[in-house]
Structure 1
Amino acid sequence: MPETTGAPKEEPSRIREAPINAIRSQEMQRLAFIRLLVQQGVEQSAKPEPIAAAAILTFHDAVELFLMLTSEHLGVTVPEKGGFVPRYFDSLHPDKAGPTGIDLAGRLGVKRLTDHRNAFKHAAALPSGAAVIQARDDTERFFEENMPKVFKIAFDSIDMVELIPRASTREQARSARSAWQQGDHLTAMGTLATAFEELFTTHVMNPGHGYSPFAFGPAVEHGAFMGQSFARAVTTASGERTNRNPTHAIEEIGQQFQQLSSTVFEMQAALRVMTLGLDLHRYFRFKELCPDIHRYADQRFEFYDPGNRFQADEDGFAYCEQFLLAAALRLAELEGHATPTWRSAR
């Protein structure tokens, strides 16, 4: 990133006028994180009071990170002391920064947000529901207007995929976004589901040491015809039954076994998701939005949509994309605790 002091003024100006691919990868990662914060703030703002108040802090963090990145990107030194709004809006203005400066929009909105944040954080004054909604609108408008000014890109065009640490998952997320943009919604949603399954498998398996403690045993199989299979298994070895009609008791046992395995299957999946630190309700919505995956013995798989759910719904795709991102980040965090130090030292 550009240094905050001693940078020649013409260099930041050249960067600012450059096309999107001139944005450095580290800057793009930070922009992706900022967009993630804004999305989290929007979700928090929709929660009931007083939980929604946390959005004020999230929105302010996002704005502050953006202003810090902007000062570095333009090579403008911002004073350490003074009010939050004048420190950045005045210091970055062309009147002070010269030709490399920029006239940022949304000063009044950021001032309102800062006042609510300071009252909440330093005086324990909970913001009202109306204040939270106002902060949401001010924050979204701030980024919509200033992102193109500083980085020459639209705020909603920032790809949060850059935040995914695992390379294979990151590539799958990119493929899903590409398929979505081309109108292949079934493949796009199915690719997100496949990427999550691979992350999931990584979490519950312990390579070289069998199942991890988070697997809660081997994967439980379930299916629609397990009851019939059980009934056939308790007949004679040749497959012939002692009676033309299968015994009702055997069928009932088989049905109970089928129901039990289906229940344990769902419980095991829920436990695995919760140990990953993900919200179970969000997981179920993710599963509901994504298509079913049919796997073949030769490792091939295909996506199918029995309910024809995949219309042009950008919000649904964005939800699943963000869920995958949250899972990838959470798994990366847990991997630091997965291997004992005595084993990794070998």
Structure 2
Amino acid sequence: MKRLNDARVALKHNGTFASGHQIEQAREALADFFTTVMPKVFDVDFDSIDMVDLLTQPEAKRLLKEAQTNADVGDYIHAMAGLDLAFKALLRHYKHRDWGSRRRPFDFGDDLQFFDEPKISARDRMTSRLAKLSEFMDEAQEALRVMSLGIDYPSFVRFNVTTPNLHAYGNGQHRYVRAKFLEVVTAEDYDWARHFVIESGLRASKAHDLQAMMREGCKANRSVAEPPRTACLDRWCRSLTGRARVTMRTDPVCP
């Protein structure tokens, strides 16, 4: 600790940067310190600590750990596919959560499905406009879900570029094509993508406080004997009366 503090003082007060040898020496000293102290104080092996354990989204956490088992044996393509599943599970966690009402603030509407009617095609002049709108909605819906949870969108785009394009089937299976670009995926690519999913989960966890607030608000409103009443301002034509009338109506509190 003294060597580390001496290096800090030299940089802060004298503008002297630590050498590569000093930095490595400090890293080794700190690693030895935590390796010795962690089991004694927290009863946890230092090498077993993983940021995944900080996540509060159970399905995403499980899939991240499964992806790691593939990375441990060098199958980075399959591991990247697992990371993509984990990220999708992260978004679903907030899309389908019980918010205490029918409002789902991180949903942005139902997903477009292949069997939706009417059938649309960009080559059909009668439905080409609908096809364009549907394509925009699909892309915008995903972007809104990502950004509304505080996830960095450019990083999300990079994540999509480096992970396989998964296809879901009705039996719950997922498949992907081993495209040429996946053959050059490295351990560094996997580490970056894994860190992105973990960081996204930590950012998204801020929404849990909002969920608690919505639940408590709806619970409080349902517990009162008489439904709360909201004021509706009905403006008369001021040129005739110069007055405004306030009427009261009972509205559902948790639509």
TM-score, normalised to structure 1, is 0.51
Partner of 2:250: none
The one-letter amino acid of 1:174's match is K
CA drift of 1:268 comes to 1.3
Is 2:23 the counterpart of 1:146?
no
- Unaligned stretches of 5+ residues in structure 2: 37-45, 224-255
Alignment CA distance shift 1:229-1:111 (3 Å): same
Partner of 2:147: 274
CA drift of 1:191 comes to 1.0
The one-letter amino acid of 1:263's match is F
Partner of 2:246: none
| Distance in 2, Cα, partners of 1:152 & 1:275 | 39
Partner of 2:77: 186
| Cα distance per residue 1:256-298 (max 9 Å; x no partner) | 3222211221111111111101111011111111111111111
| Distance in 1, Cα, partners of 2:84 & 2:26 | 30
**Fraction of identical pairs, as percent:** 24
Alignment CA distance shift 1:294-1:327 (3 Å): same
Is 2:162 the counterpart of 1:298?
no
The one-letter amino acid of 1:316's match is D
Partner of 2:236: none
CA drift of 1:189 comes to 0.8
Aligned Cα root-mean-square deviation (Å): 3.8
The one-letter amino acid of 2:9's match is K
1:199-210 matches, cutoff 5 A: 199-207=90-98, 209-210=101-102
**Relative contact order higher in (CA < 8 Å, ≥ 6 apart):** 2
| Distance in 1, Cα, partners of 2:106 & 2:170 | 26
1:263 to 124, 129, 136: 136
Is 2:104 the counterpart of 1:212?
yes
State the number of aligned residues: 209
Higher strand share: 2
Any conservation in 1 of the 2:77–2:185 contact (CA below 8 Å)? no
CA drift of 1:106 comes to 4.1
CA drift of 1:180 comes to 0.7
Partner of 1:342: 217
Alignment CA distance shift 1:308-1:160 (3 Å): same
Partner of 1:313: 186
| Distance in 2, Cα, partners of 1:271 & 1:147 | 42
Any conservation in 1 of the 2:146–2:153 contact (CA below 8 Å)? yes
Any conservation in 2 of the 1:176–1:187 contact (CA below 8 Å)? yes
SS of match in other structure, 2:176? strand
| Distance in 1, Cα, partners of 2:28 & 2:21 | 11
CA drift of 1:173 comes to 1.4
Higher helix share: 1
| Distance in 1, Cα, partners of 2:124 & 2:105 | 35
| Distance in 2, Cα, partners of 1:138 & 1:278 | 37
| Distance in 1, Cα, partners of 2:10 & 2:198 | 31
Partner of 2:238: none
The one-letter amino acid of 1:306's match is A
| Distance in 2, Cα, partners of 1:330 & 1:314 | 24
- Unaligned stretches of 5+ residues in structure 1: 1-87, 90-104, 120-126, 232-248
Partner of 1:10: none
Partner of 2:200: 327
